Structure formats: C-alpha cells, structure tokens
Amino acid sequence: MSNTRPARDRILDAYEELLINEGPRGATLDAVVARAEVSKGGLLYHFKNKEAMAAALIARLEELAAADLVRMRADPEGPSRYLVRESVYVGSALDRALIGVVRLAQASDPDASAVLERIHRSWMDLVLEEVGHPAIARAIVLLGDGLYYNEGLPGGWPRDQDSSAAQSVADLLEVVDVLKAHAASVPQNR
C-alpha cells in the first residue's frame, strides 16, 4: 500500500481512520498497527503511549483548522457560505481530522474537547462578524454542525440518501442567503 509514507504519518492516518470508522473502542493499538503495517513496538517508538498518539492527532487538526480559517476569512462568498459549503463531509484531511477528534471528544478526552471548542468559537466569531446578528449567526453555525454530523459520522445520524449531495448543499446555501438577508434587514444587534 502507501508504504512509502513515513511510519509516523501512516500510524496517525490509521488511527484517525479507525476512530472515524470504528470509534474509539475499535481504535486499539493492535488495530492501528495492523492498518499502518507496523509492529506494536514500532508504534510505541514514535508515540510513547496511546495518549501521545491522540495528542499528535489533535495537534494535526489544529494546524489544518488554522489553515482552513484563513481560507474561510478570505472566501469571496463570505464565511457563512464557506462554512456550510465545507461542512459537508467530503473526506478532506480536515474533515477526517475533525471527525476523528470529535470521536475522541466523545470518549471524554478533555484536550480534544478544548480544541473543538476553540475551532467552533472561531467559526462563530467569523460568521457573527459577517451577519452581525447573534441568533442568525448561531443558527448558521448550528446548521453546519448538523450537516457535519449527518454526513460525517458513519454511525451518527443517517445521511439523507434521497437527495444528491450537490443539490442538497446548493439548497442549503439558498437558505443561508435567506438568513443573511433577514439579518441585514433587521440590523438590530451588536
């Protein structure tokens, strides 16, 4: 397989993938080493224990999220549309890292929760800055959250199979525009 990639990266990829597909329960060291095609000793050379491996995954998410935030801020369609557009799971590196760390957080990892909170807050801040209306901003971010869970978690809510993904997103972006228009017409808050 892609055995050319450094072992450290292969291990992290395998761990992430197992978190997504099998959950924290299934992401055992044995499963990771099988998927990464290294031995247990090999893994524990790169990461002294499981916690260190999780920390590395969280650090990787943080980098990817920071880069994404730059793109979100610079997007010509604005942060709100960017957020909803990108909230559909397409299996990007960020998508995978995000879902993987969500799984970790669900397994009560405080560091994972903390990173997710920071990321979430950065989204909220950017969207609020754009629409200027806290309730509308919150609704847009929540919509993205719902989308992420619907589409991204194999075992979470079921994804809607009745609508093509592309059309589905286009429709939701129209809804976002409706919300943005409303916020603009009622420049009440903040």
Partner DNA sequence: GTCTATACACCGATAGAC
Partner DNA sequence: GTCTATCGGTGTATAGAC
Applying CB under 8 A, the residues found at the interface with a second copy are 21-26, 102-103, 105-109, 112-113, 116-117, 120, 124, 134-136, 138-139, 141-147, 149-150, 153-158, 160, 163, 168, 171-172, 174-175, 178-179, 182
What does 34 interact with, of a second copy, DNA, none (CB < 5 to 8 A by kind)? none
For position 30 contacting DNA by CB under 7 A, the verdict is yes
Query: Which of 1, 2, 4, 41: binder of DNA (CB under 7 A)?
Result: 41
How far, in Å, CA of 127 to CA of 104, rounded? 26
Query: Which of 1, 2, 4, 48: binder of DNA (CB under 7 A)?
Result: 48
How far, in Å, CA of 140 to CA of 175, rounded? 9
What are the tokens at 73?
């801020």
For position 29 contacting DNA by CB under 7 A, the verdict is yes
Residues 4-23 that bind DNA (CB under 7 A): 7-8
Least distance (Å) from a second copy to the CB of residue 95?
A: 15
What does 28 interact with, of DNA, a second copy, none (CB < 5 to 8 A by kind)? DNA
What are the tokens at 4?
């050319």
Q: What are the backbone dihedrals phi and psi of residue 78, each rounded to the nearest 5 degrees, phi first?
A: 95, 160
The string over 6-37, giving b where at least 16 C-beta atoms fall within 10 Å of a residue's C-beta and e elsewhere, is eebebbbbbbbbbbbbeebeebebebbbebbe
Chain positions contacting DNA, by CB under 7 A: 7-8, 28-31, 37-42, 44-46, 48-51
